[in-house]
């Protein structure tokens, strides 16, 4: 079964809006795992507008599933991840002023850069994944970078799903098959939701993990966190 990693950034966003410690990202991570999440994802940014550096370290001891840290591989980020040693690091190409991830890596242009960083993480026993668009050339480039997995950037799929889901899924299926052929694990994320997740998971071969934050936390406001996580799990 495809694993569900819950991104808890939005919990930190609510906390930071008021200051203090409520709602607690630690309690959220514990609860998500207890309610059936297969992992916890965070995406710390340099301005700490949601997840802070302290959160990154504090969450590690309470992880009983898998810990996935996403982010742009700045020198500070690399050092932090190596210090914490999560099960997985997911590299994204967005800089410090980007609101949310909006594109995958150009794995041809940045091949040497990514290869050096990925080698360092793997030497420290951390599984690596890199964010990529559904483009066959980028999948082939990812293999040459030495990554363990790719994370398919699914915004295009989510945007087109309601009008033509067959057309929307087509490039993702091709890329998933290519990734499998090359020996790459397959993750996916961005704008996956209760509406579009089941079809994506059914059509994408060998989908190892989805990382979902904004939609899941938004649904939880109305449906409750435990119920929402179980609803997403059933779709997988």
Choosing from 50, 66, 151, 190, which is the catalytic residue? 190
Query: Would you give the end-to-end CA distance of the chain in angstroms?
Result: 7
Give helix then strand counts, H and E, for the chain. Answer: 11, 8
Per DSSP, the residues of 132-179 read: E-S-HHHHHHHHHHT-SEEEEE-HHHHHHTTT-HHHHHHHHHHHHHHH
Per-residue pLDDT at 98: 53
pLDDT tens digit sequence for 14-27 = 999 999 999 999 99
DSSP type of residue 205: T
pLDDT tens digit sequence for 41-86 = 999 999 999 999 999 999 999 999 999 999 999 999 999 999 999 9
> Whole-number mean pLDDT of the chain?
96
Per-residue pLDDT at 103: 77
Of 35-44, 91-100, 212-221, least confident by mean pLDDT is 91-100
pLDDT tens digit sequence for 86-133 = 999 999 997 655 545 567 999 999 999 999 999 999 999 999 999 999
Domain extent at residue 143:
3-235
Q: Give the mean model confidence (pLDDT) for residues 153-177.
A: 98
Q: Give the mean model confidence (pLDDT) for residues 146-169.
A: 98
Q: Are 119 and 146 in contact (CB under 8 A)?
A: yes
Q: Return all residues near 2 (Cβ < 8 A) that are at least 6 apart.
A: 201, 207, 208, 209, 210, 236
Q: Return all residues near 39 (Cβ < 8 A) that are at least 6 apart.
A: 3, 4, 5, 6, 65, 66, 67, 68, 87, 88, 209, 211
Q: Quick one: tokens of 18?
A: 């008021």
Is 190 in the active site? Answer: yes
Q: Quick one: tokens of 236?
A: 């997988």
Is 43 in the active site? Answer: yes
CATH of the domain at 46: 3.20.20.70
Choosing from 43, 50, 151, 209, which is the catalytic residue? 43
CA-CA distances (angstroms) from residue 225 to 14, 25, 142, 150, 234? 15, 13, 35, 28, 14
Choosing from 50, 66, 70, 209, which is the catalytic residue? 70
**CA 60, 129, 186, 53 torsion-angle sign:** positive
Indicate if the pLDDT at residue 225 is higher than 60: yes
Per-residue pLDDT at 83: 98
For the chain, the domain total comes to 1
Q: Quick one: tokens of 31?
A: 């609860």
pLDDT tens digit sequence for 177-211 = 999 999 999 999 999 999 999 999 999 999 999 99
């Amino acid at each position: 079964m495809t694993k569900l990693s819950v991104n808890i950034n939005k919990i930190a966003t609510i906390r930071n809006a008021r200051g203090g410690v409520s709602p607690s990202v630690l309690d959220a991570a514990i609860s998500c795992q207890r309610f059936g999440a297969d992992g916890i994802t965070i995406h710390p940014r340099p301005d700490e507008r949601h997840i802070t550096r302290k959160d990154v370290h504090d969450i590690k001891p309470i992880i009983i599933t898998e810990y996935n840290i996403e982010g742009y591989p700045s020198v500070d980020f690399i050092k932090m991840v190596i210090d914490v040693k999560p099960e997985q690091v997911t590299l994204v190409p967005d800089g410090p002023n980007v609101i949310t991830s909006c594109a995958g890596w150009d794995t041809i242009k940045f091949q040497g850069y990514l290869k050096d960083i990925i080698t360092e993480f793997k030497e420290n026993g951390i599984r690596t994944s890199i964010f990529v668009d559904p483009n066959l050339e980028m999948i082939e480039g990812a293999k040459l970078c030495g990554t363990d997995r790719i994370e398919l950037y699914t915004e295009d799929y989510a945007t087109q799903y309601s009008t033509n889901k067959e057309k929307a899924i087509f490039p993702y299926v091709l890329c998933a098959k290519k990734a499998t052929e090359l020996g790459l694990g397959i993750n996916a994320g961005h704008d996956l939701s209760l509406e579009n997740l089941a079809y994506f998971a059914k059509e994408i071969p060998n989908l190892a993990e989805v990382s979902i934050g904004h939609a899941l936390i938004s649904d939880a406001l109305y449906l409750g966190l435990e119920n929402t996580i179980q609803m997403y799990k059933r779709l997988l």
